Amino acid sequence: MPSFEVDQFVADCLAALAEDASHNAVREVVARAISNPMAVLKGLGEPKRAEIGTLLHSDHLTILNVVWAPNMTVMPHNHRMWAVIGIYTGREDNIFWRRVPGTPNKVEAVGAKALCEKDAVPLDVDLIHSVINPINQLTGAIHIYGGDFFRTERSEWDSLTLLENPSDGERVRRLFEEANTRFEADKLFPEERRSQTR
């Protein structure tokens, strides 16, 4: 079975970007890697909690290992750069949004796509999406962005009002913390329930 080596994967993505500045060649690298999800799991390690792990951060390309907690939801947001999402374990549901004509700081839903293990999907530069992990297990995905993901100004939309706000990263950081708190509590709950019935 071919192995997944992080350094080689990063080198392959950089070579693909040099060949084609769009997402096309990078998507092929991701699709090839996640076609063997067990190798990716072994190379990255079994997910233990919700987190964003950085495999590469540069001006031209950012590669992240994103782990979503069970039933975790991330508000509508944009990237302002192309992206490729490759699922190596679990499932990620995306809802796609567009700006409401006449009310440009508000969005409305226009579509959805469920991404399952071995799916590698490109996202356009102007896409607005929200993410849900709808299952009761951790979902692991490689997210690749065609630019500096951490230094690019982005927007996110309030989950209740669907109104636009600048993204400072703080709300997302809190989402991951809260998701991990719930995940840890849910893991303990069956033990607590058994002890209460004795």
pLDDT in tens, 81-95: 999 999 999 999 999
Q: At what angle do helices 6-19 and 37-44 cross, to 10 degrees?
A: 120
pLDDT band at 171 (very low <50, low <70, confident <90, very high): confident
CA distance 136 to 194: 20
Amino acid at 116: C
Q: Is the pLDDT of residue 111 over 90?
A: yes
What average pLDDT is seen over the chain? Answer: 92
* pLDDT for the residue 194: 44
Which carries the bigger pLDDT value, residue 170 or residue 111?
A: 111
Two tokens, residue 8: 């080689």
Altogether, the residues listed in the chain come to a count of: 198
- Which DSSP letter does residue 69 get? P
Among candidates 131, 68, 63, which has minimal Cα distance to 97? 131
For residue 35, the SS3 value is coil
* pLDDT for the residue 198: 46
Antiparallel, parallel or unpaired: β 139-145 and 83-89: antiparallel
* pLDDT for the residue 41: 96
* pLDDT for the residue 197: 43
Domain topology for 6-193: Jelly Rolls (2.60.120)
Among candidates 149, 181, 180, 192, which has minimal Cα distance to 68? 180
Q: Is the pLDDT of residue 190 over 70?
A: no
* pLDDT for the residue 196: 46
Sheet of strand 164-166: strand arrangement: 103-116, 91-100, 128-132, 73-78, 155-157, 164-166
| pTM confidence score | 0.90
pLDDT band at 189 (very low <50, low <70, confident <90, very high): low
Sheet of strand 62-68: strand arrangement: 51-57, 62-68, 139-145, 83-89, 120-123
Among candidates 122, 124, 119, 123, which has minimal Cα distance to 141? 119
